[in-house]
């Protein structure tokens, strides 16, 4: 259903502008967005994308990754550097942690800003994520994800081992860029 405030605005503007206005009203688009194209690291097949969309004081994170171990969990983190040049993606450095917190579960108040939920692959090795966080930002401030790396790991995050979560090898890497 299209909100009444949007419909009344449509009558006074062109068809193209009306389409854009309606799309923004219906989808709730609010702020800047960014995306990372995930590419496999050496000897791995995982690839996909992750999208970051600023929505007020929170960021909506959506992702799709293919080529994962079927029916398994895979650690998933924003990393400090947007550098995927090393064959094993160690060039992306450690987890993004602008506030100096310990590594932790994505639902706990004390954690790295880059600590996200593990990806859960289905029987075909495809994982999808739709999650919201208040520890990241798109475009400004110390929690800005632009230019950071996103890593998919081989193993699940144990949310306890410091500072990495014991997630194993890095199977995919991408650099977050403005859209």
Q: Which amino acids are annotated catalytic? A: 77, 79, 95, 103, 112, 115, 153, 170
What element of type H or E holds 24? helix 15-27
Beta strand ranges found along 56-163 (DSSP E): 58-66, 73-74, 76-79, 119-120, 127-133, 149-153
- Dihedral sign, Cα of residue 178, residue 116, residue 110, residue 170: negative
Cross-strand bridge partners of residue 63: 50, 129
d(CA 61, CA 30) in angstroms, rounded, equals 14
User: Running DSSP on this structure, what letter comes out for residue 144?
Assistant: B
Q: Count how many residues are written for the chain.
A: 179
């Amino acid at each position: 259903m299209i909100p009444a405030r949007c419909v009344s605005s449509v009558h006074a503007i062109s068809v193209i502008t009306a389409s854009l206005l309606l799309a923004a009203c219906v989808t709730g688009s609010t702020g800047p967005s960014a995306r990372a194209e995930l590419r496999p690291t050496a000897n791995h097949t995982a690839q996909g994308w992750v999208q970051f969309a600023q929505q007020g004081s929170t960021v909506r994170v959506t992702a799709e990754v293919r080529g994962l171990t079927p029916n398994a969990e895979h650690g998933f983190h924003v990393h400090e550097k947007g550098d995927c040049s090393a064959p094993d993606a160690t060039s992306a450095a450690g987890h993004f942690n602008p506030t100096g917190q310990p590594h932790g579960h994505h639902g706990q108040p004390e954690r790295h800003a880059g600590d996200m939920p593990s990806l859960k692959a289905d029987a075909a090795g495809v994982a999808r994520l739709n999650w919201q966080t208040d520890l990241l930002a798109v475009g400004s401030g110390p929690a800005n994800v632009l230019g950071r790396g996103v890593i998919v790991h081989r193993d699940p995050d144990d949310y306890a081992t410091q500072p990495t979560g014991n997630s194993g090898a890095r199977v995919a890497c991408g650099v977050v860029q403005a859209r």
